[in-house]
Amino acid sequence: MTLPLSPGAAKALVLLRGAGYEAWIVGGCVRDALLGLAPKDYDLATSALPEQTKAVFAGRPVVETGLRHGTVTVLLEGEPLEITTYRVDGAYSDARHPDEVTFTRSLREDAARRDFTINAMAYAPGAGLQDFFGGREDLAQGLIRAVGTAERRFREDALRILRALRFAAVLDFTLEGETDRAARACAPLLAGVSAERVSGELSKLLCGKAAGRVLREYPDVLGVVLPEILPMVGLDHRNAYHCYDVWTHTAVAVDHVPPELPLRLAMLLHDIGKPDTFSLGEDGQGHFYGHPRRSVELAEKILTRLRFPRRTRERVLTLVRYHDAVLEETPQRVRRWLNKLGPEAFFDLLAIQWGDASAQAPAYCTRLDHVRRLETMARQELAQAPCLTVRDLAVGGEDLLARGYRGPAVGEALRALLDQVLAGALPNEKTPLLQWLARRDAEKREKTELPKAPPRP
Ligand code: ATP
Ligand code: MG
């Protein structure tokens, strides 16, 4: 059996093996290559000790990325390659990181410390595939199966529970029975895993092609790190717009936006304020007045707690805030929104409204046509090189200074002009803009000068 290798990985194997060591590509790159996917990067495992690895690659750029864990990163053919000495992990006293690692001479022991059978295979050209735990079969069956006893492995490092869900979402696989049972049973241990590790796996999970299914199947596990989702599970909308409970609606909506993190996070969190805002109308219909605002509050708490970068957080919160906004199909209103959010966020908002509508009762999917038309309209507006911000105006601050405007009056005048242009009331041309402004301010002066105070006696 032969698998395609990158030039850098192939060369590293040749150099290490040529120096008399065992060397393999391992983990995710073997899995991906067997699936016919291009590996994102290559990890190598070797019998060489870190100092020996460094000696093999002497004279080349080498970074001691994790010497304590036996990892050296080598730059070969422009590729960074992580080369790790065969190791077994010591005790995990905190369900987070091994207290110590021990180097070993055995590839099998190195494979046994890895999380899932599909991630525990090794390969080298000529030597073939090393598959000690049936990873290839599980790959063919679409199964995530822990190496060894699932419960013990999850107790060693609870992040593996979230990793199992991540691989299920990314590969569209299912958890093997015992692994599934242990994942649910050990889920409370996830509370002890650092926010950064959780958000890293959660992000990949959300961008997976089967994210919606995994969300639907594992609210109990995800609820350990996102307790705010739990009241959504099974919450009936009790209105005609919806055919799913709030959590199922959320999961279906996630699948209907492109796999970009801000969009997927916004979809996950858009209705998280619904449980707190539910009310039953006299007509027997369920309402969720003000839920976007409550969703923003909860989403902000969650994204901060999970240490998402500020920029991601802000993008997500904007989308959650306006996910339910009524967008009118007129060029003026579309220009207003383009001005308010900027084109990128406005198109993101349309994607969110699309995802939201796709997960509603089929009778309300007419909203989809509405979103499509808005998108076309926004593109047409942008194609006309429209004036969307004060900076795009044909009149600048210097024009106003020349006409005697000073200080805050300059900004006010520019904003008033932009307002007229966005409304379509004025063309974005210097003369009409300045004429309008002169007229407006003359009228203003008249109004303030009219009721003159009577002369003092
Ligand atoms: P990706 O394609 O996302 O990089 P990957 O399988 O390469 O997926 P990494 O997080 O890069 O995942 O880890 C590389 C390899 O290290 C895994 O394939 C697995 O063998 C092992 N591994 C990573 N994290 C753990 C863990 N927490 N417990 C046990 N083994 C792990
Ligand atoms: Mg990797």
Classify strands 79-85 and 43-46 as parallel, antiparallel or unpaired.
parallel
Among the bound ligands, the one closest to the CA of 26: 1
How would you label 260-288 residue by residue, b for 16+ Cβ within 10 Å and e otherwise? ebbbbbbbbbbbbbbbebbeeeeeeebeb
CA of 111 to the centre of ligand 2 (A): 15
Q: Could you tell me if residue 269 is left (phi over 0), alpha (psi between -120 and 50 degrees) or otherwise beta?
A: alpha
Phi, psi of 125 (to 5 degrees): -60, 135
Phi, psi of 75 (to 5 degrees): -95, 115
Count other Cβ atoms within 10 Å, centred on residue 120: 28
Instruction: Compute the distance between CA of residue 45 and CA of residue 108 in angstroms, rounded to an integer.
Output: 11
User: Which is nearest to 395 in space by CA: 429, 427, 426?
Assistant: 429
CA angle, corner 306, sides to 321 and 152, nearest 5? Answer: 135
Instruction: Compute the distance between CA of residue 230 and CA of residue 211 in angstroms, rounded to an integer.
Output: 17
Q: What would the pLDDT profile of 2-37 be if each residue is shown by its tens digit?
A: 999 999 999 999 999 999 999 999 999 999 999 999
User: What pLDDT, on a 0 to 100 scale, did the predictor assign at position 345?
Assistant: 98
Phi, psi of 85 (to 5 degrees): -65, 140
CA of 420 to the centre of ligand 2 (A): 53
User: What pLDDT, on a 0 to 100 scale, did the predictor assign at position 68?
Assistant: 80
447 Cβ closer than 6 Å to some ligand 1 atom: no
CA of 194 to the centre of ligand 2 (A): 19
Say if CB 219 and CB 123 are below 8 A apart.
Answer: no
User: What pLDDT, on a 0 to 100 scale, did the predictor assign at position 117?
Assistant: 98
- For ligand 2, a single-atom ion, which residues have Cβ within 5 Å? 28
114 Cβ closer than 6 Å to some ligand 1 atom: yes
User: What pLDDT, on a 0 to 100 scale, did the predictor assign at position 241?
Assistant: 87
Among the bound ligands, the one closest to the CA of 84: 1
Task: Give the helix, strand, coil percentages of the chain, each rounded to 5.
Answer: 55, 10, 35
In 288-377, where do the E strands start and end? Answer: none
Say if CB 395 and CB 420 are below 8 A apart.
Answer: no
CA of 119 to the centre of ligand 1 (A): 7
160 Cβ closer than 6 Å to some ligand 1 atom: yes
Which residues in the chain land under pLDDT 70?
A: 90-99, 450-457
CA angle, corner 196, sides to 139 and 264, nearest 5? Answer: 65
- Residues listed for the chain: 457
40 Cβ closer than 6 Å to some ligand 1 atom: yes
Atom of ligand 1 nearest to the CA of 159: 27
pTM of the shown model: 0.91
User: What pLDDT, on a 0 to 100 scale, did the predictor assign at position 446?
Assistant: 86
Among the bound ligands, the one closest to the CA of 115: 1
- Using CA atoms, how far residue 213 sits from 49, 150, 209, in Å, is 43, 22, 9
Instruction: Compute the distance between CA of residue 337 and CA of residue 260 in angstroms, rounded to an integer.
Output: 22
118 Cβ closer than 6 Å to some ligand 1 atom: no
Instruction: Compute the distance between CA of residue 141 and CA of residue 174 in angstroms, rounded to an integer.
Output: 9
CA of 28 to the centre of ligand 2 (A): 5
User: Which is nearest to 118 in space by CA: 188, 166, 190?
Assistant: 166
What residue's CA is closest to ligand 1, atom 1? 28
Q: What would the pLDDT profile of 334-392 be if each residue is shown by its tens digit?
A: 999 999 999 999 999 999 999 999 999 988 778 899 999 999 999 999 998 789 999 99
What residue's CA is closest to ligand 1, atom 18? 27
In 187-233, which ranges are continuous DSSP H helix? 195-206, 211-217, 219-225
289 by Cβ neighbours in 10 Å (0-12 / 13-18 / 19+) ranks as exposed
Select from 86, 114, 149 the residue to mutate for testing ligand 1; criterion: most ligand atoms less than 8 Å from CB. 114
User: Which is nearest to 14 in space by CA: 24, 1, 4, 29?
Assistant: 24
User: What pLDDT, on a 0 to 100 scale, did the predictor assign at position 381?
Assistant: 92
